[in-house]
Structure 1
């Protein structure tokens, strides 16, 4: 997923884009598309999105919709995510087939990721208990209580700073069917205050028996994450691991090489890194059967290292 362009496919379906200017006649079958709702302007009030949502409910048989992308609901400094969430939750009974939601698909040109004003998103899970895929973008003000879901298979948080309270909630959730978990941990300056201790229940794997892909990405503590991964019980069950986008140095890579075997993985993504050439050569030699991504090597800027996505 890109921060610079809207997804054209979500949950295996082509995306139909609806804005306040859209012609709501002659639309495709509701079950044949993922439906994106967004305001195509820099609007400092919520009323345009409210009108769009009401028109959407009238024009489309939402009882058959399986995938929904909720994008620009108004200028982030003026409109909090609680307003569109309240609208969606109030209409939950009209979406009995909903299985996938992308919450907060703002592009960078509309809002820096750290400016997206989120809220407590627990109602997404409690109001739509059959969800299988949930993607959330934006970490400012983001909150979550531990949830229970027997259907959720993919959970993804894209942030420049993921609050520790959210990581702890995910770790305490009961998600026996979860196959893919992606956390953009970000930096402390933008709210990314999660610690290795917060990640520990996830890394133990005890509550995630079906997990096969783990992404702990975009972290200024990427070396510490790598060291924790080196001894994490859950790794033996994974088929793919993503530690990309962060501040990974030779210290973290050395921990990975010195830890448990990683040769069973089909892929290991370490792209956007601060590794030396000798270390990348060692990694490639140690993992010949793994699809190893060592792209986007970075250089320090006056002793500063940067994650791929922060502000």
Structure 2
């Protein structure tokens, strides 16, 4: 599976588009009532030019949700630096609460080809952020950050580097409620280990966490075993170990560990469980919404995560 559709809604708002084809003077929807996606296209106007026109055309002081789409690439004629552009224009977005860096689909760039820089400055430039999503991880850098406002943090990746995972784990995010990490495959830089996840599983640094997603991993069975005894699970409302190579061994570890009946939702979609194990999971969690869609069969010893390249 690849990411093949742009978001039509973000942070509870419909998405409006401002791109390289938006004409000067065009009638635009209300700034406050929409989440705005700003992007260019392959071999078209440079992203910095599109972003500059966006700043002039839209009352950005009213914007609460912003999505940054395709900004170019090293293999394109033009490439932009959205982090630099955003931080330089931070005073133009005093009410920004939700930011998605990289709402980019397969036709624009495969997820593991999306080229990043250091995303750390965004957290200082936008201290009011309550939600931050990022797609792709090539060349991404991140130092530990501090935010008392951030509630949702999501990394979508075909291979999330261990240094990024460790930076998130070392961050000071006392009000974070929702964390998703698409850990990916080592073939695309996903070298995080189960040990790197220990700070999340202990729950000590994330006292308000209610959703934990450790997903899209080649280590899904090992992660499931670690989650089975993790202190953080007792206070979660939802847990996702989806999109990876979960087998009966990982599911057995979950069922043999601490109770999961308090969960509202358990997402295990895209898995390699047998029919018998799927029935055991459902039977063990009668009051839990369990997603076991997308059952796959291994080809010998080969199994695949949902999103890689």
TM-score (norm 1): 0.95
Whether 1:289 aligns to 2:287 is yes
Aligned mates of 2:135, 2:86 — CA distance in 1: 17
- Counterpart secondary structure, 1:155: strand
Distance 1:76 1:109, change over 3 A: farther
Cα displacement (A) at 1:80: 9.3
Whether 1:21 aligns to 2:17 is no
**Structure 1: gaps (5+ residues):** none
The aligned runs of 1:207-218 (5 Å cut-off) are: 207-218=205-216
The aligned runs of 1:22-41 (5 Å cut-off) are: 22-23=22-23, 24-39=25-40, 41=41
Q: How many residues align?
A: 307
Q: 1:252 aligns with which of 234, 250, 253?
A: 250
- Counterpart secondary structure, 1:283: helix
Q: 2:72 aligns with which of 51, 74, 91?
A: 74
Cα displacement (A) at 1:61: 1.4
Aligned mates of 1:30, 1:78 — CA distance in 2: 30
Cα displacement (A) at 1:79: 7.8
Aligned mates of 2:122, 2:144 — CA distance in 1: 12
Aligned mates of 1:268, 1:77 — CA distance in 2: 40
The aligned runs of 1:10-159 (5 Å cut-off) are: 10-23=10-23, 24-39=25-40, 41-43=41-43, 48-75=46-73, 77-78=75-76, 83-159=81-157
Whether 1:235 aligns to 2:236 is no
Deviations 1:195-240 (A, max 9, x none): 1111000111011111101111000000011001000000000000
Distance 1:80 1:129, change over 3 A: farther
Note if contact 1:101-1:133 (Cα within 8 Å) is conserved in structure 2: yes
Aligned mates of 1:225, 1:81 — CA distance in 2: 37
Q: 2:265 aligns with which of 264, 267, 281?
A: 267
Greater alpha carbon shift after TM alignment, 230-239 vs 78-87 = 78-87
Aligned mates of 2:261, 2:300 — CA distance in 1: 36
State the partner residue of 1:8.
8
**Structure 2: gaps (5+ residues):** none
Aligned mates of 1:80, 1:197 — CA distance in 2: 39
Cα displacement (A) at 1:3: 1.5
Note if contact 1:43-1:75 (Cα within 8 Å) is conserved in structure 2: no
Note the aligned Cα RMSD (angstroms).
1.5
